Amino acid sequence: DAGVIQSPRHEVTEMGQEVTLRCKPISGHDYLFWYRQTMMRGLELLIYFNNNVPIDDSGMPEDRFSAKMPNASFSTLKIQPSEPRDSAVYFCASREGVDSPLHFGNGTRLTVT
Amino acid sequence: GNSVTQMEGPVTLSEEAFLTINCTYTATGYPSLFWYVQYPGEGLQLLLKATKADDKGSNKGFEATYRKETTSFHLEKGSVQVSDSAVYFCALITGSGYALNFGKGTSLLVTP
């Protein structure tokens, strides 16, 4: 079991550029979550999917953020255009079922200059 | 709504000291409660959990008891090690929800 795989590990970009973060959940997991972690706000849930369908995106901060899950083994989080306040660590996590533990990837550290 | 409040860190302890990290919660219904641990440069990992009142979760010498009367789930360890240095997150999920609500995390530093 390779765990949840996120790429890239680090991303540095200039304000206004498009950023795409990628996630491969654990095979067989039906739920996928995107979280953002900052010192000020801690861990914030952005969006989650069940069986590739977005269920709750109320945590997505603005229309600049979008997430997709085209199939059970891949999800993307896109920010367009990026801003310095988007700098954070973005985590993807997956879970097999409602009562199963959450498995996190190692995160993508995004820096927008 | 649901929320979790953790004690502010950082917490600095000497090796073999006793650890307590406080966690209280507000929830509708009957939540399940969790502690997750985050080591530097990594994602969060489940440390322990409790699904109903008076349950005690335990793992790697850590334990926490689900106290409904005080809406608390404090994390304890009798003798910490340097390798326990990490950030600890308290979290909950209710039966009507599918996503965990996390506290802000408490940083623990254990010195030799």
Q: What is the mean pLDDT of residues B4-29?
A: 93
Give residue-wise pLDDT tens across range B1-15. 788 999 888 999 999
pLDDT of B52 strictly over 80: yes
pLDDT of B107 strictly over 90: yes
Percentage above 70 pLDDT, chain A: 99
The Cα–Cα gap between B82 and B76 comes to 15
pLDDT bracket for residue A1 (50, 70, 90): low
The Cα–Cα gap between B49 and B58 comes to 8
- pLDDT the model gives residue B14: 97
CB atoms within 10 A of CB B71: 16
- pLDDT the model gives residue A11: 97
- pLDDT the model gives residue B30: 83
How far the first Cα of chain B sits from its last, in Å, is 41
Give residue-wise pLDDT tens across range A31-67. 999 999 998 888 999 999 999 999 989 999 889 999 9
What are the E-state strand segments in A1-113? Answer: 5-7, 10-13, 19-24, 31-38, 42-50, 53-56, 65-71, 74-79, 88-95, 103-104, 108-112
Residue of B nearest to A39 (CA): B104
pLDDT bracket for residue A112 (50, 70, 90): very high
* Chain A contact residues (CB < 8 Å to B): 4, 31, 33, 41-43, 45, 48, 50, 55-56, 91, 93, 98-99, 101-102, 104-107
Residue among B41, B99, B105 minimizing CB distance to A42: B105
C-alpha B58 chain-centroid distance: 11
Identify the residue with better confidence: B20 or B93: B20
The Cα–Cα gap between B58 and B47 comes to 8
User: Residue A39: which residues within 8 A CB-CB, separation 6 or more?
Assistant: none
Give residue-wise pLDDT tens across range B61-105. 999 999 999 999 999 999 999 999 999 999 998 766 677 889 999
pLDDT of A23 strictly over 80: yes
pLDDT of A84 strictly over 80: yes
Does the beta carbon of B29 lie under 8 angstroms from any beta carbon of chain A?
A: no
Does the beta carbon of B52 lie under 8 angstroms from any beta carbon of chain A?
A: no
Q: What is the mean pLDDT of residues B49-60?
A: 95
Task: Record the tokens describing residue A48, joined without a space.
Answer: 């989650």
- pLDDT the model gives residue B29: 80
Task: Record the tokens describing residue A5, joined without a space.
Answer: 């795989």
pLDDT of A27 strictly over 70: yes
